[in-house]
């Protein structure tokens, strides 16, 4: 088997908790929260893995840790076989791992022209820049923008155009992996498709691996090979996209999908309402952390944390009583 482009094993990312003077005497594990609480996954060459989950589930935090913008507190991560968890040369890593940030316009420096923005990755990595304007034109063209955009500034771009500049920057160094955080957020449906096609094109041609973070479950089937569902910083289900959409094993996945009727292969599937709110990271429920919101919870769910194990289909789920048939109900 070929080596994964990205390999994560039990990756934990913590944020400090402000506690005042009392906090100084608190046990060490209470001075921080785990926004990513032990994530294990692989992304293969040419593969697109989508990460979904409600706001605050740790998706962006995970991407930022993979890209070195946040430290990995524990666990192990490898990119193309090189460890990321023990102080790699992040500039060298980022030469081959591009990040598209959640906010398309805000992530572009406002004082730089589009020409300079698309050349910036080359400058950061010390690549030759003989025919700079020609190179910038070619890089822009990869994202479907003509040379008339070279002289524009970010505030003169629409959301879709800013996204395209983000795609051009991401593709410009021919990366092995793109981390795309909500690449279609805030865009019209027609433009969403165009942005995703741009990313897809390179996956077919160059074996580009993509980790795409999205709230937009409707785009999943068109872009993702596999999907990982996150809840409170953990993966609760992961598997091939068709298998997960057709027969989600975790009640949380079923609830997310049932809120998107277009995704439901059988429109008859009843909408599963999630009870209550997502708990805070400081008061994680006992046992299965989803149990207070789960309509299928049984007493033992409050006692024992489920492991992510193979379920009936081809997916893995962290649930003591996974759903086993395709209408989201109990066997």
Ligand X SMILES: Nc1ncnc2c1ncn2[C@@H]1O[C@H](COP(=O)(O)OP(=O)(O)OP(=O)(O)O)[C@@H](O)[C@H]1O
Residues interacting with Mg ion, by CB under 5 A?
60
63/266 Cα distance (integer angstroms): 33
H helix and E strand count, the chain? 10, 12
The set of residues, in sequence order, having a beta carbon less than 8 Å from that of 264 and lying 6+ positions away, is: 257, 258
By CB under 6 A, tell whether 35 contacts ligand X.
Answer: yes
Contact stretch for ligand X (CB under 6 A) within 59-67, 244-252, 293-301, 320-328:
59-67
Out of 39, 48, 52, 57, the only residue in the binding site for ligand X (CB under 6 A) is 57
Q: Which is nearer to Mg ion, 229 or 249 (CB)?
A: 229
Rg of the chain on CA atoms, in Å: 21
User: Within 10 Å of residue 214's Cβ, how many Cβ atoms?
Assistant: 24
By CB under 6 A, tell whether 61 contacts ligand X.
Answer: yes
Q: Which does 203 bind (CB under 5 to 8 A by kind): Mg ion, ligand X, none?
A: none
DSSP per residue over 43-109, as a string? E-TT-EEEEE-STTSSHHHHHHHHTTSS---EEEEEETTEESTT---HHHHHHHEEEE-S-TTTTS-
297/322 Cα distance (integer angstroms): 11
Q: Smallest gap, in angstroms, from Cβ of residue 131 to ligand X?
A: 39
166/160 Cα distance (integer angstroms): 10
Q: If we measure between CA atoms, which residue out of 238, 260, 232 comes closest to residue 322?
A: 238
H or E element: which one contains 255? helix 251-258
Beta-strand pair 177-181/82-83: unpaired
Q: Smallest gap, in angstroms, from Cβ of residue 233 to ligand X?
A: 7
Q: Smallest gap, in angstroms, from Cβ of residue 213 to Mg ion?
A: 6
Contact stretch for ligand X (CB under 6 A) within 52-60, 87-95, 243-251, 258-266:
52-60
**For ligand X, how many residues bind (rule: CB under 6 A)?**
13
Q: Using CB atoms, what's the residue nearest to Mg ion?
A: 60
Q: Which is nearer to Mg ion, 195 or 294 (CB)?
A: 195
By CB under 6 A, tell whether 56 contacts ligand X.
Answer: yes
**CA quadruple 148, 150, 151, 154: dihedral, nearest 10:** 110
Q: Which is nearer to ligand X, 147 or 279 (CB)?
A: 279
Q: Which is nearer to ligand X, 59 or 163 (CB)?
A: 59
21/273 Cα distance (integer angstroms): 41
Q: Which is nearer to Mg ion, 13 or 297 (CB)?
A: 13
By CB under 6 A, tell whether 58 contacts ligand X.
Answer: yes
Q: Smallest gap, in angstroms, from Cβ of residue 35 to ligand X?
A: 3
By CB under 6 A, tell whether 287 contacts ligand X.
Answer: no
By CB under 6 A, tell whether 285 contacts ligand X.
Answer: no
Q: Which of residues 205-264 bind ligand X (CB under 6 A)?
A: 215
Site residues (vs ligand X, CB under 6 A): 15, 35, 53, 55-61, 102, 215, 281
């Amino acid at each position: 088997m070929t080596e994964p482009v990205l390999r994560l094993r039990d990756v934990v990312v913590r944020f400090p908790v402000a506690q005042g003077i009392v906090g100084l005497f608190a046990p060490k594990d209470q001075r921080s929260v785990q926004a990513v609480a032990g994530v294990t996954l692989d992304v293969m060459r040419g593969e697109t893995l989508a990460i979904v989950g409600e706001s605050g589930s740790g998706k962006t935090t995970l991407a930022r840790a993979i890209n070195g913008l946040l430290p990995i507190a524990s666990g192990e991560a490898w990119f193309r076989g090189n460890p990321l968890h023990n102080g790699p040369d992040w500039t060298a890593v980022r030469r081959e791992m591009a990040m598209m940030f959640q906010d398309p316009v805000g992530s572009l420096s406002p004082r730089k022209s589009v020409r300079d923005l698309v050349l910036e990755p080359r400058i950061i990595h010390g690549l030759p820049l003989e025919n700079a304007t020609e190179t910038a034109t070619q890089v822009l063209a990869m994202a479907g923008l003509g040379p008339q955009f070279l002289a524009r500034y970010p505030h003169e771009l629409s959301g879709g155009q800013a996204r395209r500049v983000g795609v051009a920057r991401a593709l410009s160094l021919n990366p092995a992996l793109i981390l795309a955080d909500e690449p279609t957020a805030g865009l019209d449906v027609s433009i969403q498709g165009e942005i995703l096609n741009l990313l897809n094109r390179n996956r077919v041609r160059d074996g580009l691996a993509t980790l795409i973070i999205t709230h937009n479950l409707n785009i999943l089937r068109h872009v993702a090979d596999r999907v990982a569902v996150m809840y409170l910083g953990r993966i609760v289900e992961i598997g091939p996209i068709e298998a997960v959409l057709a027969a989600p094993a975790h009640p949380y996945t079923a609830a997310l999908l049932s809120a998107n009727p277009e995704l439901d292969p059988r429109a008859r599937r009843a909408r599963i309402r999630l009870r209550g709110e997502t708990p805070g990271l400081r008061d994680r429920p006992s046992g299965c952390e989803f149990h207070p919101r789960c309509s299928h919870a049984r007493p033992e769910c409050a006692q024992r944390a489920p492991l992510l194990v193979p379920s009936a289909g081809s997916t893995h789920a962290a649930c003591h009583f996974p759903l086993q048939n395709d209408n989201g109900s109990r066997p």
